[in-house]
């Protein structure tokens, strides 16, 4: 038996023992599962008058406190008072231990009070996220609870992986600032820390770029859309109505970035190049190899119309765009896409062929690498690091490139072995646009819902993600994270998006937070309480796993 298993068994024993005592202990479940948790006897009674005593402060402590009060106020009707000073009885004491990791925390709830220890407000924020899950769900929106019983627990917690993200595509379907903020709330609730914001694609350019206004004027609009749920090669039908123009102004982008930062989340922008760029080509046709009049793509799938790396003006364009992106986004990482870039236009383009010859490149794969290297150099010169989808491995990558492995884990494994940093988001486990159950009323009606079908992704498959698969302990260090991807071709409304995210993003969160403690049975039992938390906030979610396995 592994130590973890032994520990889990001890916990179960503890739990059963306390549950059989005269007064049943409140059920304690936390998602993602804390690294160490033991349920103690008794509870702390939180009152509207309970003070928060800050034993240390930092630049973002106020954000953590604001979050706590955003939970407490709808429960008791008032905010908790915050004071500085020494820990005291009957308080929520915030203590500092600089030896803990940035995201780590300890949480001790006893009859005497609540002690939270962390090295920074980031850890405190996660302790508060845990605390929310300890509050009785039925009181969370009650408005006037005079006392709240918080079960006594002792928790030591910290994540396995530093990057835990959700990618949100706002190109295929557009979502409002408030909806993006709700995705951010969900990311925070699951102790994840990255929103990978997919802002440009063939079907729409969604970020205002001051130097190139047509990107949003022209690229933010499309004449028609493929009906969600139809396959572009099988039964492609069109909506028959225009879409847009839709885009985020730079002020809105700044607002989203701040909202995320206040929740300890970094927004990683993705600007797709040189493929998945038809919306940009429609706005500025000279970006393409032929300069013909491109149109923002109305059907899903992959386009052969891509940017031309043969022309210097193409580089000037992307560098200008990235300069504005860098000004907006503080993220160390900038995602440049790089996936699904057919080479047919390059094969016929005199400028591309001249570039291949002049640079001594072997083929069009290497032409894309050449493009990537120049873009990476630009990003590095501006103090940023480049992420690209795993196709960018094909013509060779620099050792400093971060690979986002999506076609499977193979690209990520190869990259981690070669020494590149990697984020694992294989479609076999992390593509949250794939259906998860039998319910066709809200899930996209495409894909076959049967085990082993490549476009069927039930909860258990997501949870079985192993980001360290086939890697030695040294190579594992190159895997910095995991991510769920919310592509939106088939999710026209935000309710669809919530349904596809929940509960599967919880599975990805748990893999990233507590890889070594994974236990699917415990996870699905504990999720039942999390679903009630989703209810409190009015989120739409899938219960397919429990219904289809006779558990609900
Ligand atoms: C991708 O799904 N093309 C990254
Ligand atoms: Zn070209």
| pLDDT tens string 434-483 | 999 887 767 765 556 666 677 889 999 999 999 999 999 999 999 999 99
Neighbours of 35 (CB within 10 A): 18
Percent of the chain predicted with pLDDT > 90? 89
At 49 the pLDDT is 98
The confidence score (pLDDT) of residue 446 equals 58
Query: Tell me, what's the pLDDT at 19?
Result: 38
- Does the active-site annotation cover 490? no
Which helix or strand (DSSP H or E) is residue 278 part of? Answer: helix 278-283
Separation of alpha carbons 543 and 539, rounded Å: 12
DSSP 345-368: HHHH-HHHHHHHHHTT-SSHHHHH
Query: DSSP state, 222?
Result: B
127-151 average pLDDT score: 97
**Interval 330-345: pLDDT, tens:** 999 999 999 999 999 9
Mutate to test the pocket of ligand 1, among 390, 392, 406, 486 (most ligand atoms within 8 A of CB): 406
**Which has the closest alpha carbon to 271: 196, 193, 173, 346?**
196
Residue of 224, 340, 394, 475 with catalytic role? 340
Atom 3 of ligand 1, nearest CA residue: 339
The whole-number pLDDT of residue 395 equals 87
pLDDT band at 13 (very low <50, low <70, confident <90, very high): very low
Cβ count near 21 (within 10 Å): 9
Q: DSSP secondary structure string, 69-96?
A: HHHHHHHHSSPPPEEESS--TTSEEEEE
Q: 386 and 332 in contact (C-beta within 8 Å)?
A: no
How buried is 27 (Cβ within 10 angstroms: 0-12 exposed, 13-18 middle, 19+ buried)? middle
Domain 163-548, CATH class in plain words: alpha beta
Coil/strand/helix, residue 495: helix
Residues that place a CB less than 5 A from ion ligand 2: 289, 308, 310, 349, 351-352
Is 28-157 in CATH node 3.20.20.70? no
For residue 401, the 8-state DSSP code is: P
User: Does the annotation mark 201 as catalytic?
Assistant: yes
Q: What is the mean pLDDT of residues 47-64?
A: 98
Mean pLDDT for 334-360 is 98
Residues 316, 284 contacting (CB under 8 angstroms):
no
Ligand 1 atom, smallest distance to 431 CA:
2
Residue 381, token pair as written in the block: 């010169």
How many other C-beta atoms lie within 10 A of the C-beta of residue 89? Answer: 8
Q: Is the pLDDT of residue 8 over 70?
A: no
Q: Please answer whether residues 283 and 345 qualify as being in contact, where contact means their C-beta atoms are separated by less than 8 angstroms.
A: no
Q: Is 302 close to ligand 1, i.e. is its CB under 6 Å away?
A: no
340 is catalytic: yes
Task: Indicate whether residue 389 lines ligand 1 (CB < 6 A).
Answer: yes
Mean pLDDT of 59-79: 98
Terminal Cα distance for the chain, rounded:
31
Name the band, by pLDDT with cuts 50, 70 and 90, for residue 22.
very low
Write the Ramachandran bin of 538: left for phi over 0, alpha for psi from -120 to 50, otherwise beta: left
Average pLDDT, the chain: 93
Where exactly are the structural domains of the chain? 28-157, 163-548
What is residue 389's three-state secondary structure? strand
Q: What is the pLDDT of residues 275-311, one digit of tens each?
A: 999 999 999 999 999 999 999 999 999 999 999 999 9
Whether the pLDDT of residue 3 is over 50: the answer is no
Residue range 494-507: mean pLDDT, rounded:
96
The 10s digit of each residue's pLDDT in 381-398 is 999 999 999 999 998 999
User: Using one digit for the tens of pLDDT, what is the confidence trace for 99-114?
Assistant: 999 999 999 999 999 9
At 546, is the pLDDT very low, low, confident or very high (cuts 50, 70, 90)?
very high
With contact defined as beta carbons under 8 Å apart, do 190 and 509 qualify? yes
Q: What is the whole-number distance in angstroms between the Cα of residue 291 and the centre of ligand 2? A: 9
Report CA 305 to chain centroid distance, whole Å: 29
CA of 174 to the centre of ligand 1 (A): 18
Domains 28-157 and 163-548 share a fold: no
């Amino acid at each position: 038996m592994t130590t973890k298993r032994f520990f889990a068994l001890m916990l179960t024993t503890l739990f059963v023992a306390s549950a059989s005592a005269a007064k049943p202990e409140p059920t304690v479940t936390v998602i993602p599962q804390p690294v160490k948790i033991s349920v103690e006897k008794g509870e702390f009674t939180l009152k509207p008058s309970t003070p928060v005593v800050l034993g240390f402060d930092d630049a973002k402590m106020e954000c953590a406190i604001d979050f706590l009060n955003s939970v407490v106020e709808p429960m008791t009707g008032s905010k908790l008072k915050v004071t500085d000073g020494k820990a005291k009885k009957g308080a929520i004491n915030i203590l500092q231990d600089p030896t803990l990791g940035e995201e780590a925390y300890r949480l001790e709830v006893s009859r005497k009070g609540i002690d939270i220890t962390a090295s920074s407000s980031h850890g405190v924020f996660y302790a508060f996220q845990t605390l929310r899950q300890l509050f009785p769900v039925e009181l969370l929106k009650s408005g006037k609870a005079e006392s709240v019983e918080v079960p006594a627990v002792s928790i030591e917690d910290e994540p396995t992986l530093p990057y835990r993200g959700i990618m949100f595509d706002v190109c295929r379907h557009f979502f409002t600032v408030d909806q993006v903020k709700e995705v951010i709330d969900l990311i925070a609730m699951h102790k994840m820390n990255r929103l990978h914001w997919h802002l440009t694609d063939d079907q729409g350019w969604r970020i205002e770029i001051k130097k190139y206004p047509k990107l949003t004027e022209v690229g933010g609009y499309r004449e028609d859309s493929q009906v969600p749920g139809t396959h572009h090669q099988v039964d492609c039908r069109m909506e028959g109505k225009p879409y847009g123009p839709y885009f985020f102004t730079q002020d809105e982008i700044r607002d989203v970035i701040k909202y995320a930062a206040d929740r300890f989340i970094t927004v990683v922008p993705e600007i797709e190049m040189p493929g998945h760029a038809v919306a940009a080509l429609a706005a500025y046709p000279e970006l393409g190899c032929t300069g013909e009049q491109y149109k923002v793509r109305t059907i899903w799938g992959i386009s052969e119309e891509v940017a031309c790396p043969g022309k210097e003006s193409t580089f000037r364009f992307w560098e200008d765009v990235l300069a504005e992106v860098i000004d907006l986004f503080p993220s160390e990482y900038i995602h440049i896409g790089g996936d699904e870039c057919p080479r047919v236009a390059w094969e016929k383009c005199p400028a591309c062929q001249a570039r291949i010859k002049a640079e001594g490149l072997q083929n069009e794969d290497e032409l894309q690498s050449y493009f990537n290297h120049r873009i990476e150099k630009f990003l590095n010169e501006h103090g940023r690091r480049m992420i690209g989808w795993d196709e960018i491995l094909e013509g060779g990558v620099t050792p400093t490139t971060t690979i986002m492995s999506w076609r499977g884990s193979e690209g990520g494994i190869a990259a981690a072995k070669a020494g590149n940093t990697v984020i694992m988001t294989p479609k076999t486990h992390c593509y949250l646009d794939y259906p998860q159950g039998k319910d066709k009323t809200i899930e996209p009606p495409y894909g076959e819902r049967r085990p082993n079908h490549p476009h069927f992704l039930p909860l258990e498959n997501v949870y079985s993600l192993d980001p360290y698969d086939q890697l030695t302990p040294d190579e594992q260090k190159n895997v910095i994270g995991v991510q769920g991807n919310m592509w939106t071709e088939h999710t026209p409304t935000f309710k669809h998006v919530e349904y596809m995210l929940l509960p599967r993003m919880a599975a990805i969160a748990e893999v990233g937070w507590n890889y070594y403690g994974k236990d699917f049975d415990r996870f699905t039992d504990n999720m039942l309480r999390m679903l009630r938390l989703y209810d409190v906030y009015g989120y739409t979610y899938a219960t397919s796993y429990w219904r289809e396995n006779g558990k609900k």
